Amino acid sequence: MRVAILEDDPAQIDLVTLWLNNSGFNCHVFTYGKEFTRALTRESFDIFLLDWELPDITGADVLQWIRQNVRDATPVIFTTARDREEDIAAMLKAGADDYIVKPLRKMELLARIHAVMRRSRNEKPADDVFEIGEFRVNVESRTVHRHGQQVELTQKGFDLAVFLFRNLSRLLSRGHILENVWGRSSNLNTRTVDTHVSRLRSKLGLVPEHGWRLVAIYQHGYRLEQIHKDEQNDSVNTGIPTPATTT
């Protein structure tokens, strides 16, 4: 799971990244609000952890920017030492999915992240075996069947298919895909993603004639969409956040 952390306190960054990395998360840390919103115009994440007090803009400004500019409902958890009831209520009303008062506690933080992820659309379908359209995917046996016929996929092709199916209709950045399928330590170029996506589109028939659209978004990434016949001629909405203009 890819986490974007907006936090300017080095001690807090050390602590949270240690906990999350040890629990299998991939952490991306930003210390400035504007740096964070710029990154969101080209990258996608599974969850955001926002601090309130930042060197340039406030976490509240960033939350507002996210809700106005990031089309998919990526969950936001506020983590701040501000414990006033009015602050907590204001951020939840402004669109935060949860609010944790610092100091953070490891088990609570992890449990809350998993809880908001469960409530969001990002963990669906999480079952080992799931059906989506004409596809039946078995994560345990690493097989994909289309109309009952097994489709031969490479290991990475299978991982990519599962990641795209599990994130149906979400715009996923190339970095996000690369990290999820090939791992954080991979030195591969994002062009690798383009090559594998192209192959997967062809192997699984992810084309409008079959009710699918695997859309390439220039300088950003891909989005897998399931379309109905009457939608096949619709124009493509990119869903890319607009450039960072946060005040």
Partner 1 sequence: MTITMLPIRIDRELATLVPRFLDNCRRDAGVLEKACAQFDLDTIRKIGHSLKGVGGGYGFAEITSIGATIEAAAKAGDTEAALTVVIAFKAFLKAVQVEYV
Query: Which residues lie near partner 1 (CB under 8 A)?
Result: 9-12, 14-15, 18-19, 22, 53, 80-81, 102-106
**Cα–Cα separations (whole angstroms), residue 234 to 135, 229, 237:** 24, 10, 9
Residue whose CB is less far from partner 1, 22 or 232 = 22
- Tokens 């115009």 identify what position? 41
Asked if residues 2 and 176 have their Cβ atoms less than 8 Å apart, the reply is yes
Say what angle helices 59-69 and 33-40 make with each other, to 10 degrees. Answer: 10
Please identify which residue in the block is written with the tokens 């960072």. 244
Cβ closest to partner 1, residue 83 vs residue 231: 83
Report helix angle 10-22 to 106-119, nearest 10: 70
Sequence-separated (6 or more) residues with CB below 8 Å from residue 111 = none
23 or 202: whose CB is closer to partner 1? Answer: 23
CB of 175 to partner 1, least distance (A): 27
Amino acid sitting at position 136: R
CA-to-CA dists, residue 31 to 4, 36, 38, 232, angstroms:
11, 8, 12, 42
Q: How far apart are CB 81 and partner 1 at their closest, in Å?
A: 3
CA 134 vs. chain centroid, Å, equals 25
The least distance separating partner 1 from the CB of residue 5, rounded to whole angstroms, comes to 14
Rounded to a whole number of angstroms, the minimum distance from the CB of residue 29 to partner 1 is 15
Nearer to partner 1, 103 or 148 (CB): 103
Provide the minimum distance between the beta carbon of 84 and partner 1 in the complex, in angstroms, as a whole number: 12
Query: Which CB atom, from 1 or from 13, has the smaller least distance to partner 1?
Result: 13
Q: How far is the CB of 2 from partner 1 (least distance, A)?
A: 22
- When the beta carbons of 107 and 219 are compared against partner 1, the nearer one is 107
Q: What is the closest distance, in whole angstroms, from the C-beta atom of residue 33 to partner 1 in the complex?
A: 17
Q: What CA–CA distance (Å, rounded) separates 174 from 171?
A: 10
Please give the backbone phi and psi of residue 220, each rounded to the nearest 5 degrees, phi first: -135, -75
Closer Cβ to partner 1, 78 or 212, answer by number: 78
> What distance separates the 2 farthest-apart alpha carbons in the chain?
58
